[in-house]
Amino acid sequence: MDRRTAIITGASSGLGHECARALLHRDASWHVVLAVRDRERGQAAAERLGQPERCSVLSADLASLSSVRRFIADYRDQDLPPARALICNAAVQVISGTRRTEDGHELTFGVNHLGHFALVQGLLEQLARPARIIVVSSGTHDPAKRTGMPVPRYASADRLALAEGESEEPIAKLGRRRYTTSKLCNVLFAYELERRLGEGRAGVTVNVFDPGLMPGSGLGRDYSRAQRFVWRFVLPLLRVLPRVHSPRASGRHLAALADDGRYEGVSGRYFEGLRAVRSSLDSYDRDKAADLWQTSEQLLASG
């Protein structure tokens, strides 16, 4: 049996944890690296998966570029099966005020986009071909979907990183807009990466995954007490509706994109669950993608 490794960010809970569970159950050849901010929580998560011998827990705080670099070095030193999947899943939504990463970047942009950009750049040469990279985005990146979230506003990546030139609006709404804009950045980044890797011809495919609305996930951690109650206990009742899913159901879909033979060689696509659809109009804007890539490279060089 050819053993292989999948690296999953944000794997101590929610979607990332359920994706790890699904991969371990899909095929005995998978070893999973839980890339987590809190190592103790990661170890507990590995135990909950029931197969700790097939899990490795490594620290990766996406709000710190130095932490991402340490993760890359630590991963290189592990005696693990070849890496065949990299799943960029971790995300934050901050609605209580402007917070910044260790490197001084606005936190939502820093974690949801820049930390993953740094991780992918550092791991690309360590991926064994063929390999799959999956970037988790959200339907909230698309204004046409009318999700109830503020629509993204992308003027430049530099402004997003500095949190400058933003409109005057309530801080909670601004925080949600930063989140939807970061999810647009996820799609722009994935498409640009796919182009730079030769649209799958270099042996690495890149796709985007939209898990749908997942009430009860960790994205509500910055909500008020009343909002957290609704998020955790009331909104999950809506899972009977289309596009509202449990983390476990979406985790199975995400694992399938990383493992299933149906998606071998498929690249540059946006998946709602397991269905390939068009993403937002702005997500295909190559000028925005180039600006995001160039600015991200500059931020890594200075960080």
- Tens-digit pLDDT profile for residues 126-179: 999 999 999 999 999 999 998 889 999 999 999 999 998 887 899 999 999 999
- At residue 258, what is the residue type? A
- Overall average pLDDT of the 54-69 stretch: 98
| Cβ atoms < 10 Å from Cβ of 285 | 16
Q: For this structure, is 179 an active site residue?
A: yes
What band does 279 get if pLDDT is binned at 50, 70 and 90?
A: very high
Per annotation, catalytic residue among 179, 191, 263, 270 = 179
Phi then psi dihedrals of residue 51, to 5 deg: -135, 60
Residue with tokens 């820093």: 110
| Domains of the chain, earliest start first | 4-302 (3.40.50.720)
What band does 212 get if pLDDT is binned at 50, 70 and 90?
A: confident
Dist CA 30 CA 33 (whole Å) = 10
Q: What pairs with residue 206 in β-bridges? A: 133
Phi then psi dihedrals of residue 218, to 5 deg: -70, -5
- Overall average pLDDT of the 23-47 stretch: 96
Of 50, 60, 44, nearest to 9 (Cα)? Answer: 60
Q: What is the pTM of this model?
A: 0.91
Contacts of 90 (CB under 8 A, 6+ apart): 9, 10, 16, 35, 37, 62, 111, 112, 115, 116
Would you state the pLDDT for residue 234?
Answer: 40
- At residue 16, what is the residue type? G
Give the mean pLDDT of the chain: 91
Would you state the pLDDT for residue 231?
Answer: 39
Q: What pairs with residue 250 in β-bridges? A: none
